[in-house]
Structure 1
Amino acid sequence: MIETREAISEKVVLIGIITQHQNEDKAKEYLDELDFLTVTAGGVPVKRFLQKLDKPNPKTFIGTGKLDEVKAYVESNNIGTAIFDDELSPAQLRNIERILDCKILDRTNLILDIFASRAQTSSAKTQVELAQYEYILPRLTRMWTHLDKQKGGIGMRGPGETEIETDRRIIRDKITLLKKKLATIDKQMAVQRKNRGKLVRVALVGYTNVGKSTLMNLISKSEVFAENKLFATLDTTVRKVVIQNIPFLLTDTVGFIRKLPTQLVESFKSTLDEVREADLLLHVVDISHPNFEDHIASVNKILDEIDSGNKPSVMIFNKIDAYTHETIEEDDLVSVKTKSHYTLEDWKKTWFNDLGKDVCFISAQEKNNINEFKELVYEKVLNIHTKIFPYNNFLY
């Protein structure tokens, strides 16, 4: 497997851009998330750089003036790593690395690094390794910059080109082998799904770090790893759960994230198959997060991409114990009430109302409203069960 960076406390600068498609508030929010990703990977973010551009600079992502500013800060503060909030092209990586003379990562590389450190099972490790190789393949050239001065041409083929072509061949062969291995894993997991018997399948889905694993532990009495970090869970966990007299299979899946690398979506196909084959989705949302609506949209987008957007689903708003809102004094005639001032009751009067009965407000950590949650899941599972297995209804 490709070696990952050691989880040591590297000093890191974060770099993002403001564009016509990404305003300043959104850019800052993405950098907040990049900050969390960096901490999860073992880095220490010490400064952020933001630049307003019509579009990313094709050569250096940000403008040359801003890059010089970053360079000066990196040199004067002994910074070892610069992380960019978007995926960089091979040319951008090569140019930026030459100018800043430090380790350069982009959001995709950072997420792959976290996945590599979190993967536990053979399946997860294989999926991450495939994604890493597919990311590295078009970026091999920058690994041979020490041979840039070698001139090409007939009779002048330097060792750099030979080494790069050799490495490309090795990586392509490795990708082919990993894909074959994953195909075998897919078949094994498909057999496992068939062998689980005729039970309704329920999948927990949601943004990363919304509390899916905590909820899984609570209602299945299993010990699924859960902590307050991004991508705490990579490996799919399936447990048989019984609520009242209805048994069903509950699956905890990997958390989604905005700007999820396409390599991961593809390589984690076998994991996402658990979502595709589910009869009911429990979409868990961290309502205490100020941008939970964007998280919902990101999850729905990925569900649409894997043809699971139209499945029966229930919205589970978690972490109500941590929900806070701004207040407006009664004599304040200037301030305008915005979403940041909404109470939970205010939210329930918005688009939440369109969800009808397919919604629940809980705290998995504090075990608030768990009985209501179980009752809602019971009704949904029972309804699906009677449709799938009409001849077994007399049992219930």
Structure 2
Amino acid sequence: MSDSREPTSPRSGHKVLIVEDSKAIASLLHASIGQIEGIDVLLAGDLAETRRLLAASGDEIFVAVLDLNLPDAPDGEVVDEVQALGIPVIILTGQVDDEKRKALFRRNIADYISKGNLGGVGAAVKLVERIWHNRESQILVVDDSPSQRSLLCALLHNHGYQTLEAGNGQEGLKLLQAHPGIRLVLTDHHMPVMDGLSMTGQIRRFRSGDELAIIALSGAEEETLLPRYLKSGADDFLRKPFEIEELYCRIDRNLDMLRHIAEARDAANRDYLTGLYNRRYFFSRAVSLHEQAMRGKVELMAAMIDADHFKAINDTHGHHVGDLALKAMARVLQDFAEEGGFPSRFGGEEFVCLQVIREGVDPAARLESLRAAVEAIELRGEGGQRVPLTVSIGGTTFAGNNIDEMLGVADEAVYLAKTQGRNRVVILDRPSGAGSAGTAVRTSKR
């Protein structure tokens, strides 16, 4: 067999096609979906208009929300027209009984929304947004049956997921090692070489439940299979044959949980005002980065950045303007850091950045560009007057014996920048007590 070694992507595009003959529902859908960042909306009221839009923009549509019964297509003909272009379809319809629901899913739709429910429009908008964001998620399908893998991947593509495939647990482990971006594994149980249960236990040796979800699928009648999977590290278990809606709901629930964990962890690691990493998280990352520098794998620069006369800004313009100043400086620092940089707010008006120095880059020139970028910030007070912002920066490439020693040298440098008149950069090659007065990059005052 030939496994997919790179993710198979769902349909691309940035447009949503809405086909609905009720002007009230169409207008509400258009307004609500149009608020999703990055999405454009195309609107049609009948099959004829739909055909015109498909001919003009079919390649740019990543999902369609379709009324099942239109004046010129009363039997759902619009679904076939849209699906012929490979566009996933969300159906808008009236009341749905069990037979109609099964018939809809036999048409390979992404999902259906009942217009009879009060929250129908909201559910459609939420599903479109989910499919839009799902394109960032990779799911690994592990099954020894090519037809079963093909079915599962088709269902996942309908909801916007990227997919990878493996024919047994051993191949699945290799793909997980090669693709750390995989967020969820769907695995069969009975497979040659390595079954799903053994693979699940192996996965949990290097991928925790906080970063990867595992859902086992099996038609086996063994009563103990479910608890054995859960004890081995699986997050969920679904018996075959399964309902498509249930599969989608379980995938959504598990990925939502991972996202909530990641968001909570990220919030705990960031400064609430500026969005930069906080002091605690800085040190948890900086220690390992410093160790790489000590082993000669990277060259580091540490910079301490201190806002000049910040108390005067708060006293003159108020704390609201002071907060705006800190946010503006944080944005400049984030842009400055780019790849390989790790900016943090240490507290008050003090920032720190640990930066990997690329070959050919002059640390002093980089820090001078940061100083100039802060000075160029256009911040206005309550009365519209410009609020001048400047910073004193102390930098060093002296690694010392540990990260605390390196930051201590940068702190000495920023103190020198303050005492020499502020709004300038001072670079220290080593601690001042070790016989170096440092190199100052002076700047002109406005």
Task: Tell me if TM exceeds 0.5.
Answer: no
Greater Rg over alpha carbons, structure: 2
More helix by share: 1
TM-score normalised to structure 2 length: 0.28
Which structure has more relative contact order (CA 8 Å, sep 6+)? It is 1
